[in-house]
Every structure is written in structure tokens, then in C-alpha cells.
Amino acid sequence: MMVESVKNFVGGSWVEAKSGETFDSINPATEAVLARAPLSGGEDVAAAVQAAQAAYKSWRLTPAPRRGEILFKVAQILAERKEDLARLMTLEMGKILAETRGDVQEAIDMAYYMGGEGRRLLGYTAPVEMPNKFGMALRDSVGVVGLITPWNFPVAVPSWKMLPALVAGNTVVWKPGEDTPAISAAFTKVFEDAGLPAGVLNLVTGAGQTGETLVSHPGVRVLSFTGSTSTGLKVYTKAAGLGKKVTLEMGGKNAILVMDDANLDLAVEAITWSAFGTTGQRCTATSRLIVQSGIKPRLVEALVAKARSLTLGDGLEDSVDVGPLVNQKALDKVSGYMDVARQEGIRVLTGGRRADREKGYFFEPTLFDGVQQGMRVEQEEIFGPVLSIVEVASLEEAIDVNNSVAYGLSSSIFTENVNAAFRAIRDLTTGIVYINHGTTGAEIQFPFGGTRGTGNGMREAGQAGLDSFTEWKSVYVDFSGRLQRAQIDTDKILGES
Ligand code: UN1
């Protein structure tokens, strides 16, 4: 297979890195080089920011409904290219075709949703204190925004950021995950073909240093980051020191709670796909099963059988359920947690090792039993197909275990008891709560994000997703023709008019 040559997209042109340096993108199922991409440095980031600054002058003045129309066009082109984009994504980061199609679909949904914002971007009016005076609050654009995104949702996650940023009138410099430059360029091409003016969206591929330069660049006022907690906190610290606005979407340690009265078959299906789908490499993946004692033996038996029945392999093949991990580093990390589990005295019910295949970063779906609250495998994000099972006696204990981690993205409860469901809604302290559904599958019209170490209080998607990329401007229009200073003037003016 030919190695694709990826370029940066700066000011409407496809260009090499000024340094001439590149890095390789590897197909994780075959370990073959898929693409070679620019290893962008400071000069490349500076050029992209400059292009974005120049384009901002007219983009912010382009009527929002017109900006929205370009987003609708983006949605249409994405729909036309869905299959090609999904295949390229599977080749580059490994998840199965059904999942990469879903990834592209999220961007299509978001493009229609945010395209519609072109005719909303709702502000509000409120009464003001003086007569002959009018007040309103508008969502204003901010300027150049910097996006740093991961490889696991290489189209969906960037779409949650760039689509609201663009419809609100900002211009964008995007640094995608190091493992996914080719799909990122293909996604960028969609915006070019949809007629987005030059410089409004700029792509610079590269590594950590590229992202750092973007974070520090004085021309970038807003940063939106999705990725690991350690990198996210570095971005936060750096950006805070420079007075920038930041949105962070970081780790998760999501749990499914299964109560004794749960629908067992439904729970087994949901747990399997939330834990092992996308090879466990979702920030929303289920990595803990918190199960009540009564149902545990039957549930665990069914889960072990189900995990063993999953077919590992190249995500392009229809028969495959679980693709590879993204790279060697991920494989090493997940393998490392097998040693941690051993040290913690945990029982491996199934999996626990690299899959027996010649090529590719495959790891067997793994179930850990006898996990206690507070153990490392119960607390730390592994980001692989590994599920830790914690047994509890009651709903109260289950909720307590759920809430006792450093992260707070998603949680779920399986119960047929409406009272238990509502208590869970009230007491689970995560940004997303599911009832009788796995922890994955968030829809783009609702806020997405988490509490505690998952984020910094911001949300993506839905109306809340606009908050990262807009600033409120409060406007007062005084049509009294005089200087109105205090309430005391009110009676006088009313008397005269
Ligand atoms: C992520 O893992 O970074 O809710 C995003 C979900 C998907 C998005 C996950 N819609 O699982």
C-alpha cells in the first residue's frame, strides 16, 4: 500500500512543514506505515495563527446564517464521503467500521445542529432601569481559537469544537492527535470543499511540541483540549498563566451499576459494548462494573462467555468485533496494568494478555474480579479493554463506589426499580448519567463533559458547547437624548414625555 503524504492546511493552501520534518502514522492492525505527515514547529504554528487572524476580520462579519449554510454543506459532504472517511479512520486508528461510521455520523449531526445555530445564537433582552433605554446580551466571537484533539474520535471530537467555534464567527488552528494525521487532513478537506474561506480553518499536524507552541501563542485567546489528564493539566497551567480561556475534556473511570433486579441480558449486552467497544479506548468507556451480590454470579458468568466470544482483528473486516489498541505505547500501558493487577491480588477471569497474532497491537478483552474500591485498577484510567468488577451490598454502596474516583464523566445504572433509578440520577456525581444503557453513546444536542478530574467545569456539545467559543457582550442603548444618571431622574423624564 502506498504511503499517503499528508500536508498542513494553512491560509487555504496545503503545505509542508517549514522544517521539512515529518512523522509516520501507523496502521495499528498491520503495523504498516499508512501516512507521513508534517512535524510542525513554531514557524508553522505562527503561520497558521497569522492566517487565522487575517481571516477573522471578515469571517466575524459574515452573517451567521451564511456561516451556518457552510456548515450544512459540510454535513452534506461528510454524508457523501462517510464510507471513505470511515475506512480511512479504521486504517489509521483501528476501531471497527461500524464505530468509525458512527464517529463520522456524530460530525454530520453536529454540523446540522451548529449550522442551525447560524439562525439562533440566542442572546436575550431584559428590562432596564431607566425609561427610553434598551438592553440586550449577545454572544460575541472571541477571535482565533486553538484546538488540540485526540486520536480516538478523530472526526467527532474535533467537530464538537470547530463547528460551534466556526458558526460563532471564530477562526481556528487545529492540532490533531499524532496517531491520526491522515483522517484529520481528509476532514479538513471537507471544509475546503464546502467553501469555507481561506484561513478560517487551519490544520497543523505534529507532536506535543506543536501543541505547546499553539497553547503559548499570544494570538490564540481560547483553547479547547481533549486528551489525557496529564497533558490537559499542563495545557491548563500554561494557558492560565497567559490569561486564556480553556475547555478541558480529560480522563474517565466510568462505571455501570447493576442492581439485583436488573434485566440481566440487557446489562450483559450494554456492559460488553461499553467496556470492549472501541477496544475500551473511549473516555466514556466502562472500566468498572459495580454489581450487587445477588446478581453477580450469573452476570459475571454471562460476561465471561460474551467476552470470550468476541472476534479480534482488522476493523475493516465485517466479522470483527474488537480492533487493536492504537499503538505500541498503548499496548505497553495496558500490559503494565496486568502487573499492577497481579500485585493487587486480583483474579483475571478472562483475557489479561496480548492477543496471539503476528502483527498489530491487539489485547484480549479482560475481566478482573475481586477488585476492591481504592485499588489502582479501580482508580486509574487504563484506556484499554479491561473491566474491573467490584461487588457491593446495596445501592448506597454502589453509588458511593461510583463517586469515589478522581474522574466524573459518565455512569450508568441497570435497575427495574424507578425509585432506585431516580436516586441514582440525583446522587451519581458524573456529567452524564444513563439509566438501563451503557456509559457510551452520548448525543450531540446535550452537554458533554464531566466533573472532578475529567474537566474544568466547561461542557462541549449542545447549547453549552457555544460557551467555550463565545463571550457575552452586554449592550445598552439609551434613546432618551439625555444623560440619565439615577433612578431619581425617572419621574422627571416620564413627566416630560
Ligand atoms: C470520547 O471517548 O472521547 O459518548 C468521546 C460516546 C461518544 C463520544 C465519546 N459519543 O461514547
> Same domain for 384 and 461?
no
Let me know whether 415 and 427 are in one domain: yes
Task: Summarize pLDDT for 318-328 with one digit per residue, the tens.
Answer: 999 999 999 99
Of 229, 283, 433, the one to substitute when testing ligand 1's pocket (max ligand atoms within 8 A of C-beta) is 283
484 inside domain = no
C-beta 135 within 6 A of ligand 1:
no
On whether both 394 and 461 belong to a single domain, the answer is: no
* Domain membership flag for residue 446: no
Which residue in the list 4, 249, 378, 381 is annotated as catalytic?
249
Confirm whether 491 is domain-assigned: no
Q: Report CA(440)–ligand 1 centroid distance (Å).
A: 6
The answer to whether residues 135 and 148 belong to one domain is yes
Phi, psi of 244 (to 5 degrees): -95, 155
Same domain assignment for residues 246 and 259? no
In a domain, 488, yes or no: no
Of the residues 99, 106, 283, 391, only one is catalytic, namely 283
- Total number of domains constituting the chain: 2
Tell me which amino acid residue 4 is: E
Question: Which of the listed residues 147, 160, 179, 282 should we mutate to test ligand 1's pocket, taking the one with most ligand atoms within 8 A of CB?
Answer: 282
Are 317 and 235 members of one domain? no
Both 189 and 287 in a single domain?
no
Looking at the domain assignment, is residue 493 inside a domain? Answer: no
Ligand 1 pocket residue status of 8, Cβ below 6 Å: no
Domain of 287: which CATH number? 3.40.309.10
Distance (angstroms) between ligand 1 centre and the Cα of 220 equals 26
- The ligand 1 atom at the shortest distance from the C-alpha of residue 252 is 2
Q: Are residues 63 and 126 in the same domain?
A: yes
- Report the distance separating Cα 27 and Cα 311, nearest Å: 19
Does the pLDDT of residue 267 top 80, yes or no? Answer: yes
Are 482 and 493 a contacting pair, CB within 8 Å?
A: yes
Look up 4 and say whether it is catalytic: no
Tell me what pLDDT residue 2 has.
81
Same domain, yes or no: 279 and 200: no
Q: What is the pTM of this model?
A: 0.96
User: Is there a single domain that holds both residue 258 and residue 241?
Assistant: no
Q: Which of 159, 284, 410, 443 to mutate to test the pocket of ligand 1 (most atoms within 8 A of CB)?
A: 284
Q: Which domain holds residue 182?
A: 4-250+455-474
In a domain, 97, yes or no: yes
The answer to whether position 495 is within a domain reads no
Q: What percent of the chain has pLDDT over 90?
A: 97
Instruction: Give yes or no: 301 in active site.
Output: no
For residue 284 and ligand 1, the question of a CB distance below 6 A is answered with yes
Domain final residue pick, 404, 435, 466: 435
User: Which residue from 8, 15, 34, 159 is spatially nearest to 89, judged by alpha carbons?
Assistant: 34
Distance 108 CA to ligand 1 centre (A): 15
> Is residue 236 domain-shared with residue 349, that is, in the same domain?
no
Q: Which atom of ligand 1 is nearest to the CA of 410?
A: 4
CB-based burial label for 485 (10 Å; 0-12, 13-18, 19+): exposed
> Among 435, 463, 484, where does a domain finish?
435
Residue 483 resides in a domain = no
Angle CA 340–270–304, to nearest 5: 50
Ligand 1 pocket check for 152: Cβ under 6 Å: yes
3-state secondary structure 20-35: CCEEEEECCCCCCEEE
- Condensed to tens digits (0 to 9), the pLDDT of residues 47-91 reads 999 999 999 999 999 999 999 999 999 999 999 999 999 999 999
pLDDT in tens, 414-444: 999 999 999 999 999 999 999 999 999 999 9
Which CATH number is 151's domain given?
3.40.605.10
Specify whether 428 is located in the same domain as 463.
no
